[in-house]
Amino acid sequence: MRVLGIDPGLRNLGWGVIDVAGARITHVANGICHSDGAEGSLAERLRSLHAQLTEVLRVWQPDSAAVEHTFVNKDAVATLKLGQARGIALLVPAQFGLAVGEYAPNAVKKCVVGVGHAAKVQVDHMVRLQLPGVVIAGADAADALAIAICHAHHLQSSGRLEAALKRAAG
């Protein structure tokens, strides 16, 4: 199964693709979709993110996707803009017919690092440990790979639970 993780951001939207075969997770690709404020209006920046993320899905053809929840900060305008970028992160996989998992940042950190309040450097380190030899495009791509790993673990857990329930019922 191929899993896409997306770390939403208006300026830098990170993405990471992994393949999952049983308990084995391997790196496929990662990168960052850029939308600089100098590019133009908010609508143009969102269109650019949509086009770039659409290309990621077209090229890498994931089977499943996951997006990180945004956190609310003191700047309401910035939070709203981030929410709009997150809308693009949810929309594009849905346009490809994928179900999209959603995870809180603390859940991703707990899954990958073991601690819900881990620092970015710890997340990056653990992603590198779990994906040996990976070259990461930047912090946003590292976060996206962590989201993909979290989603893969969640899918594996739910699959095992469903199989155990079927065995118990049958």
- Enzyme catalytic residues: 7, 68, 140
Q: Is 44 annotated as a binding residue?
A: no
Q: Kindly tell me the sign of the dihedral angle through the C-alpha atoms of 56, 62, 64, 68.
A: negative
Q: Kindly tell me the sign of the dihedral angle through the C-alpha atoms of 162, 144, 56, 66.
A: positive
The torsion angles phi and psi of 64, rounded to 5 degrees, stand at -150, 155
Instruction: Give the residue ranges of DSSP H helices in 100-138.
Output: 105-112, 120-130
Q: Is 68 annotated as a binding residue?
A: yes
Asked if residue 62 lies in contact with residue 4, where contact means CB atoms within 8 angstroms, the answer is: yes
Q: Is 143 annotated as a binding residue?
A: no
Residue ranges for the known binding site are 7, 68, 140
Residue ranges for the known binding site for Mg(2+) are 7, 68, 140
